[in-house]
Amino acid sequence: MNNFENKSIILFDGVCNLCNASVNFVIKHDKREQFLFASFQSDAAKEILLHFNLKNLNANTVILVENHKVYDKSTAALKIAKRLDGGYKAFYAFFLVPKIFRDWVYDFIAKNRYRWFGKRESCLIPSAKLKNRFLD
């Protein structure tokens, strides 16, 4: 796996409308460009998942790869929020809520995301301006 010094990688479901909206939100509030992105459907994500021995992972979660560690579900979302510009760092206070409860809420939303927010036929194609933030 390539070495992405000082960058964190967010793996997401590229056909999920909620997931794509979340990626756009992170891009908008990540002025320091700390995050790179790869959809689960990409070869880059498959390579990263294989590198961390996460072969049986389904696309019902967001994955954050940071400092050679992997975080998922609510932990990944809160760690991402903590590093965004603006008041979004305050969401990190939810880390005090036990993971079992945080992940139950996360799983409930993830299970219903296609029904509530819809699904695309294909993955988002980033603009030329954002192409360097996405791994293929």
pLDDT tens-place string over residues 8-17: 999 998 888 9
Q: How confident is the model at residue 52 (pLDDT cuts 50, 70, 90)?
A: confident
- The amino acid occupying position 96 is L
Query: What angle do the packed helices 99-117 and 17-28 form, to 10 degrees?
Result: 110
The mean pLDDT value for 47-55 works out to 85
Prediction pTM value = 0.90
Residue 78 near residue 47 (C-beta atoms within 8 A): no
The mean pLDDT value for 21-35 works out to 94
The mean pLDDT value for 63-67 works out to 94
pLDDT tens-place string over residues 71-128: 999 999 999 999 999 999 999 999 999 999 999 999 999 999 999 999 887 676 777 7
pLDDT at 127: 75
Long-range contacts, stretch 126-130, CB < 8 angstroms, 24+ apart: 130/27
> What is the spatial distance between Cα 65 and Cα 90, in angstroms, rounded to a whole number?
21
The helix (run of H) or strand (run of E) holding residue 103 is: helix 99-117
